[in-house]
Amino acid sequence: SDSPDVPEPVDFRAPVVIAADGSSARLALALGLERDPRRQIATAARRYYRSPERSREEYLELWADLRFPDGGPYLPGYGWIFPMGDGRVNVGLGALPHRRHGKADLRATLDQWLARTPQEWGLREENAEGPVRSAALPLGFNRHPLYARGLLLVGDSGGMVSPWNGEGIAQAMEAGEVAAETAALALAHAQGPRRE
């Protein structure tokens, strides 16, 4: 580029790459590792709220009685209120697409749910910190294989979110550790079959 504000492209090269590039999985796609269409993708939305009363709780609260907006069927998912211990709570919900009703409007569902909570909990717009954030949750190892020559997939790029509970942080961290150990062992060998 002729513009001084646009840096020149940079190529990065490495014998092994551990891809933790999220649900977009750009590196996996670049190497032809397609998503398994038989595996579902859930969606989650969350927001932080100032809630001194709820932030002191010692447990995570789960809500399973959430409905599609406007009194529709029960949502195939759950909501959570996770105390942060610093005067805030992480409030969110996650859901699978419903076979008859499609994807839920998670923001509308979140608003509808929080309107039902007691006023003293503080889960209202005036106590919100930042916008509602949403993310895709690729479930059940939705890419095969989870590796290609010189590439190891971890976390959402490999679809490591549990289809049972929607949790994926622990799996991503464990996969990252295993991938790092595997890469270190492979790099200890000279090029050739033993390294593969």
More confident residue, 126 or 195: 126
| pTM summary value | 0.78
Interval 56-103: pLDDT, tens = 888 988 988 888 777 778 888 899 999 998 999 999 999 887 666 667
pLDDT of 3 reads 63
> Cα–Cα distance between 34 and 146 in angstroms, integer?
10
Question: Residue 167 in contact with residue 42, Cβ under 8 Å?
Answer: no
What does the pLDDT look like over 98-136, one tens digit per residue? 666 667 788 988 998 999 899 999 999 999 999 999 999
Do the beta carbons of residue 92 and residue 49 sit within 8 Å? no
Give me the count of residues in the chain.
196
Q: Please, what are the domains in the chain?
A: 17-37+139-187 (no CATH), 41-137 (3.30.9.10)
pLDDT, one tens digit per residue, over 132-190 is: 999 999 999 988 899 988 899 999 999 999 988 888 999 999 999 999 999 999 898 87
